[in-house]
Amino acid sequence: MDYHKLLENAKEVSKNAYVKYSNFEVGACLITKSGKIYSGCNFENSSYGLTICAERNAVGSAIADGERIISAIAIYSPKKRDCLPCGACRQVLSEFQDENGIDVITEGDNDIIVRKLDELFPQGFIL
Ligand code: THU
């Protein structure tokens, strides 16, 4: 799928975010190596630390469907241009990449921005 469309999907799912406490909606849409698409939004909790980020929500759906390799993930927030994944999500994403790495797509000023996860998160923890 075209990366612009992937970001559009992320935008669409961000509308479902449950952000009662931060009011900061995030949507993520990823594509796996096999070409399947999974989306997720963030959802918060009265016990703040239990909040789940949009990216990890999307990764969880992919894993539950049997997928193991992520090729690209688009992230969108209506509250922040170029909304990059938090450190925890970077570590989680790094678990599911192959030698081609993962493209991280965000919204730039005029066009999408594409970065490699390795650039954002070099030398992550691996057992
Ligand atoms: N959030 C995400 O969904 N993804 C990130 O990578 C960073 C933060 C969410 C968590 C919380 O619901 C809100 O954004 C504000 O931190």
**7 pocket-lining for ligand 1 (C-beta < 6 Å):** no
Q: Among residues 83, 99, 98, which one has the least CA distance to residue 29?
A: 83
48 C-alpha to center of ligand 1: Å?
Answer: 11
* pLDDT for 1: 83
Q: Among residues 103, 101, 106, 102, which one has the least CA distance to residue 84?
A: 106
Reported confidence tier of residue 98, pLDDT bands at 50, 70, 90:
very high
* Per-residue model confidence as pLDDT tens digits over 20-53: 999 999 999 999 999 999 999 999 999 999 999 9
Q: Among residues 10, 31, 12, 6, which one has the least CA distance to residue 102?
A: 31
13 C-alpha to center of ligand 1: Å?
Answer: 14
Residue positions annotated with a catalytic role: 55
Q: Are 73 and 105 in contact (CB under 8 A)?
A: yes
* pLDDT for 11: 98
Average pLDDT for the chain: 98
The amino acid occupying position 57 is: N
Reported confidence tier of residue 82, pLDDT bands at 50, 70, 90:
very high
**91 pocket-lining for ligand 1 (C-beta < 6 Å):** no
